[in-house]
Amino acid sequence: MAELTFGFWRFMCASRYLTSMWVPATAGAFPYHPDPANAAQVRSDVDDRVQRVHFLRNRVAHHEPVHKRNLQSDLDAISDVVDWIDPTLADWMAESSRTASVIATRP
């Protein structure tokens, strides 16, 4: 699992895996999603956020400018996914990260 790429996880969110993976197993990885019983909605919401983060990650990895992006929205996407997995972890992430304060100051 540790050697799987971020791209693997991003494309695992694709709609083609709804019945083969999301309904039987994967949606359960997000127990704090607002509608955890609706696997199709969980998959769609996770895909939306992970797709956004994957795009941002690729821009950063290729040293492309991200200063015109809505970085707060990107951070919110990350926070949503983490919160749907474990709200305690999301709280820890928010308290431990300087990202929100850096975004707020826009140096």
Dump pLDDT digits (tens) for 88-97.
999 999 999 9
Q: What's the chain's average pLDDT?
A: 92
Instruction: Find out whether 17 and 37 touch, Cβ atoms under 8 Å.
Output: no
Note the pLDDT of residue 25: 84
16-23 long-range contacts, Cβ below 8 Å, gap at least 24?
A: 17/43, 18/43
